[in-house]
């Protein structure tokens, strides 16, 4: 697969939960905390507050470009 897509959510510490980075292959429209953060580290009443703190970004990258660039740098 030459195209890699993923959603990356960076969630800072919340109450007694440490910060965490979540990655998941989802469509751009599903790139949000509720679709990416699994398992949800907080109970139901805290989900909204937890998700509001998370920063989710949709990323597309080319594995071929990364591989070629790495080979050039190592040469």
Q: Establish whether the linkage from the previous residue to 41 is cis, with ω within 30° of 0.
A: no
pLDDT digits (tens, 9 = 90+) for 46-71: 999 999 999 999 998 766 666 676 67
Tokens 């080319």 locate to: 62
pLDDT of residue 4: 80
Higher pLDDT, residue 73 or 29:
29
Token readout for 15 is 């109450």
All residues at 6 or more sequence positions from 3 whose CB lies less than 8 Å from its CB, including other chains:
60, 61, 62, 63
* Rounded average pLDDT over 8-23: 96
Q: What's the domain count of the chain?
A: 1
Residue 58 in contact with residue 4, Cβ under 8 Å? no
pLDDT of residue 73: 73
Domain that holds residue 48: 5-73
Q: Is the pLDDT of residue 34 over 70?
A: yes
pLDDT of residue 7: 95
């Amino acid at each position: 697969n030459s195209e890699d897509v993923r959603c990356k959510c960076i969630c800072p510490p919340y109450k007694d939960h440490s910060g965490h980075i979540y990655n998941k292959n989802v469509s751009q429209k599903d790139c949000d905390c509720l679709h990416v953060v699994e398992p949800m580290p907080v109970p139901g009443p805290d989900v909204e507050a937890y998700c509001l703190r998370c920063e989710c970004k949709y990323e597309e990258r080319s594995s071929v470009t990364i591989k070629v660039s790495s080979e050039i740098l190592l040469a």
